[in-house]
Amino acid sequence: AVNGLAAADVQHVMGHQANLRIIEAVMGRLEVPMDRFWLTLDRYGNTSAAAIPMCFDEANRAGKLAPGDRVLLLAAGAGFVWGSGLMSW
């Protein structure tokens, strides 16, 4: 990896939430357990990329973000448009 980290080094994944099947497939491909993915789809439906700041808010309010935690951000758009980012909290 360019950043010297493996997917297992990420504590939180926050991403676009169109449907659970896609989320499970991506997490499986990354080999990261689903319990690291902040899911809002079950409560708010398809919020698209807006799910990312929603997840941050929920994680922050729940006190689940610790200094130094690595957070993987995933977004997708129509067609083959996508983006990602890795940050340290």
Contact 71, 24 (CB under 8 A): no
User: What are the angstrom distances between the C-alpha of 64 and each of 22, 30, 55?
Assistant: 24, 22, 11
Task: Measure Cα distances from 57 to 37, 39, 52, 65 in Å.
Answer: 14, 12, 9, 10
Edge-to-edge strand ranges of the sheet holding 70-76: 12-15, 70-76, 82-88
Q: What is the pTM assigned to this prediction?
A: 0.87
> What confidence tens digit (pLDDT) does each residue in 9-42 have?
999 999 988 889 988 988 898 889 999 999 999 9
Residue 28's closest CA among 13, 49, 47? 13
pLDDT of res. 1? 58
